[in-house]
Structure 1
Amino acid sequence: TLAKLPKYLPVKSAAFLALALYVVDQKVRSSPHMTLPVMAGTDHIYVDANQAARDGKLVDLVCAAAVIPPVFDLPLWDRQRVMDAGTCDNAPLPQPDEGATLILLTRRYRNTPDHEHRLYVAPSEATPADKIDFTSRQKIADTWEMGRKDGQAFIDSYSPT
């Protein structure tokens, strides 16, 4: 998914507002599903990655999905400026939201939703590797190992109801 910006502000102002509200939402609500940025007009654009690949635009999609202002300039996708959809939802759900869904989170939240058809799984602790800086091979290896151990612990303890 990508995030489209509020239309009532210039692009840079809209991106700043979305990021500021994201930070506030994370501190106050601590949920993988944002409220404040969405209320301000930031919203998802669901993109079919298979279609993007067929159109020769998969690399563009991946790059656009990773854009975090002000670190990177906002790219165009279908004639509109976009950024990382994590600014409006850190666990976007497939559309339509049908059936059971396993949601793997990259961090812990104080308020993880309780939903009959969704299972949220978070890391046991903060991940060593930063989400933007991938320069430390050791941190990446440590994060991988932590994920492997957490995954095994999940498998060992999980019993579907």
Structure 2
Amino acid sequence: MATASVEKADTLKETVDYVTEAIKQLEMEQEQVANDKHPEFQRLLATLDATRLRLLSVAEIQYQLSIQHAKHTMEYTKAQIEADFLVARDDIKDKLYNDLRRRRKEIRDLIDKLAQHGITVEQELVDKLDTRFPARKRTRENSRSQRPEFNLKLSEHEIREDTVYIQSLRQENSSK
């Protein structure tokens, strides 16, 4: 029986030693966590930091692409405005030339009526009516109504440029 109580005492002592060590281990780990030195914390922090950097890189890429998209939209809009201006200018000229043609025809008709009544107009003045007005330079198919408002498709070259730019941003962010 004496040996059973000694074994029991050894087992209790080992249990107390284990509990003491476990408490010391908990205190040490608690201090490591508080001081940002715990190995598990460090591992998870590294993963979290890598995710943060990746997301910041994606945000930067999205920002740059948004700027580039805005520039493309602005360039297209400017070109659209310029084309619309040229078409409208040609429309105005065409309308005025048509009006001049109509008035010239009316004057010729009047000269013909005068000639029927025996009145002649100086040939020099009649010759001035023979001037030609320029024909319309653009066709109606270039008008605003038949063009799409926005054409934001990128060319293959622009896509390659964007891809190279995105890769360079990723390399910059991964090296930081």
Question: Which structure has the larger Rg over C-alpha atoms?
Answer: 2
User: Is the TM-score greater than 0.5?
Assistant: no
TM-score, with normalisation over the residues of structure 1? 0.20
Flag the structure with higher strand content: 1
Q: Which has the higher contact order (CA 8 A, sep 6+)?
A: 2
Flag the structure with higher helix content: 2
